[in-house]
Chains A and B, each alone.
Chain A
Amino acid sequence: MTTGTSDDVHEIRWHGRGGQGAVTAAKILADAAFHSGFAGVTSQPSFGAERRGAPITASSRLAHEPIRVLSQVTEPDIVVVLDDSLVEVAHTAAGMKPGGTLIVNTTKDAAQLVAAGGIGGAVRVVTSDVTGAAEAVGLIVGGQPMVSTAILGAFARATGLITMDAVEAAIGHVFTGTAGAKNVEAARIAFECTTAGGAHQ
């Protein structure tokens, strides 16, 4: 049986700013992961008092058995950061398991991010201009690029845990019609524009 803390569970922590869609992204990931073959998936918000612009987190777990731990993820295998201004100030790499993957929505490259500080230990840094992908297809709401779907393309590329077919289907469960098509396109662009910086020691 899965313990939620053993090696066969992928524990994921999301960092974003209120209104940016981290919780929506986590939900779509759970759906996409389930349809990529993970029988046990959970995604949960951080249960705080959310305000637009404030740093927020969410947690996801993916396994092949039902998930039985509902605590927030504190020792993630994978961290996803929707806003690169949070990398250091939100302690996004805190508690990461050695060899973990840090996926950042940024126009910088991995070396620049590492040089900027806040990323220690043996963490693989993966970068993707997810905001650029959202802007390229016109995913702008209230003046803000919506990155909650495009980030799933980066996640699929960086981790190999979920398929793009499943990502596209999961996006379709949330957004339909023209909006659905735009979100899928943004995820595809982000998938192509994701670059692994290799292990950082």
Chain B
Amino acid sequence: MSAPESACAAALATASMEVMTGNDAAATAAKLARVQVIAAYPITPQSPVVEQLSAWVESGELPAEFVTVESEHSALTVCIAASTVGARTFTATSANGLAYMTEQVWWAAGARLPIVMCIANRAMAAPWNVLNDQQDSMSVRDAGWVQLYCRDNQEILDTTLQAYRIAERLHVPVMVCYDGFLLSHTMMPVSVPDAAVIDAWLPKYDHPLTVVDPADPRNIGPVVIADPRADASGEGHGGYMEIRAQLHGALLEVLDVIPKVDSEYGAAVGRQWGGLLWEHMLDDAEVVLVAAGSLGTQLTVAAEKLREEGVKAGVLGIRAYRPFPVAALRGKLAGRKLALVYDKALAYGYEGPICSDLRGCLLGTPDAPAVFGAVCGLGGRDVPVDQLAGAARRALADAEAGLRVRETDWINLHLEG
């Protein structure tokens, strides 16, 4: 974001701003996107998103169909059905709700439906916990959805709008992930774009892959066998593997589309967010702190503390986690001494998911840094700036001692009780 050039510009910028929670920012974006069908089941900390949307539908402010359902599985199923016939759809969930809809999460991607779903990131039970980490969305990272992580409430609003353009351009569903409570329930200033600007930027969705026409009945979603075969009219169709390869190809194409849409949004609205990755004091950084979501925001403060101590630290934020921005990450990290990945999730029995992915993508590349992992913030555990910086100091000491492989560091853990 560029700084306003004058007091007048600052005053104008302030006029369009409202102080709102991350959940309100998500709901506001769905309203600006003129979603036509919303289906959701309440779960903390997501519930206020759809409570707000249902109030707007009730008041007539948002002319959409709000379908109340008995579970998250049905919520996404309604979105799948509505999206199949060409409606712009929206849902939101968290944690166990996302787990409950997992079967349909895979369906939405395989069926190439441009559904946008907000995830207010929350820890998975057991033990029961409503607070923030990113285990929920990480657990479905391989389902074929685009996953974008937001660092503040403004980015939630802007990214949810961008998500529709990305989804509808390539017929892939998009999860907009933001930290539960830390963003979902925290008030901060958000600039709300003019509805007319968004109407022009995000016109009605009018090109569904499947056209439902009673005069031309089709069988939608039939069983697909292993090998390609011709249909009744003699036209050849791919088997399961071809259809899956096309989904993978579309996701890889998304790597080009995310930065494009971000810059198109910038041209229309005046804000953009770095596309696939964002950075803070990265230029000359030797120690790079890597994270997704609001943790990255907090790491910018830790990096500044480290700079004051003479450590050349910077932050590389993951905005797009799926598709994984391999080339961009290699470009940003070549020649650094150390990348320390802070994960708010764990592949139990191994390590943090972003850490594994990053090490894998850098393996064997020239000038790759040492990649170490740290796990933090599980179940809402605070991630104080001092402790984030402390983990970086430990990792730097290990790297300087020549270590290239190291066990995951646990931040702010008190096993002794």
A contact residues vs B (CB 8 Å cutoff)? 1, 3-5, 26-27, 30-31, 34-35, 39-45, 47, 49, 66-72
Main secondary structure of the interface of A (DSSP, over half): loop
Contact B187 A44 (CB under 8 A): yes
Does B384 belong to the interface (CB within 8 Å)? yes
How far apart are the CA atoms of A3 and B179 in the complex, in Å?
20
Chain A: minimal CB distance from B122 (Å): 11
Contact A47 B131 (CB under 8 A): yes
Residue pair A43, B298 in contact (C-beta under 8 Å): no
Which 4 A-B pairs rank lowest in CB-CB distance, beginning with the nearest? A44-B186, A31-B19, A30-B187, A43-B187
How many A-B residue contacts, CB cutoff 8 Å? 71
Report A163 CB to chain B, min CB distance, Å.
15
Once the chains bind, are A71 and B185 in contact (CB under 8 Å)? no
Whether A69 contacts B301 by the Cβ 8 Å rule is yes
Check B298–A70 contact: CB distance below 8 A: yes
Q: A43-B186, A43-B187 are in contact. Are A68 and B297 (CB under 8 A)?
A: yes
Is B182 at the interface (CB under 8 A from chain A)? Answer: yes
Residues of B within 8 A of A66 (CB): 152, 188
B192 interface hit (Cβ, 8 Å) = no
Q: Which residue of B lies closest to A27 (CB)?
A: B187
Which of A5, A31, A47, A72 is within 8 Å of B187, CB to CB?
Answer: A31
C-alpha spacing A42/B188, complex, angstroms: 5
Closest A residue to B13 by beta carbon equals: A39
Interface: B300 (CB within 8 A): yes
**Residues on A with beta carbons closer than 8 Å to the beta carbon of B297:** 68, 70
Q: Which residue of B lies closest to A2 (CB)?
A: B301
Besides the contacts A34-B189, A41-B187, A70-B294, what 18 more A-B pairs have beta carbons closer than 8 Å?
Answer: A5-B301, A27-B19, A31-B19, A34-B14, A34-B19, A35-B14, A42-B187, A43-B186, A44-B185, A44-B186, A45-B185, A47-B131, A47-B185, A47-B380, A69-B385, A70-B182, A71-B384, A71-B385
Q: Tell me the bound Cα distance from A25 to B300 in angstroms.
A: 29
Alpha-carbon gap, A70 to B385, bound state (A): 10
Whether A41 contacts B383 in the complex (CB less than 8 A), given A47-B131, A68-B300, comes out as no
Tell me the smallest distance from the CB of B308 to a CB of chain A, in Å: 10
- Shortest Cβ gap from B94 to chain A (Å): 13
Chain B residues in 8 Å Cβ range of A72: 382
Asked if A5 and B385 sit within 8 Å, CB to CB, the answer is yes
* B279 close to A (CB within 8 Å): no
Q: Are B382 and A41 in contact (CB under 8 A)?
A: no
Q: Please, which residues of chain A bring their CB within 8 A of the CB of B179?
A: 70
Q: Does B304 contact A (CB under 8 A)?
A: yes
Of the candidates A3, A5, A41, A71, which one forms a contact with B188 in the assembled complex, judged by CB atoms under 8 Å apart? A41
A-B contact pairs, 14 of them (CB 8 A): A26-B187, A30-B19, A30-B187, A31-B187, A41-B19, A44-B186, A45-B185, A47-B131, A47-B185, A49-B130, A70-B186, A71-B298, A71-B383, A71-B385
A63 to chain B, nearest CB (A): 11
**Does any Cβ of A come within 8 Å of B90's Cβ?**
no
Q: Any chain A CB within 8 A of the CB of B17?
A: yes
> CB < 8 Å: which of A4, A30, A35, A71 contacts B382?
A71
B372: A residues at CB distance < 8 A: none
Q: Which of B187, B298, B384, B385 has the most CB of A within 10 A?
A: B187
In this assembly, does B145 line the interface, its C-beta being within 8 Å of a C-beta of chain A? Answer: no
- Say yes or no: B185 contacts A1, CB within 8 Å: no
In the complex, how many angstroms separate the beta carbon of A161 from the nearest chain B beta carbon? 15
Interface assignment of B41: CB less than 8 Å from any CB of chain A: no
Query: Measured between C-beta atoms, what is the minimum distance from B60 to chain A in Å?
Result: 18
Report A201 CB to chain B, min CB distance, Å. Answer: 30
Residues of B within 8 A of A3 (CB): 301, 304-305, 385
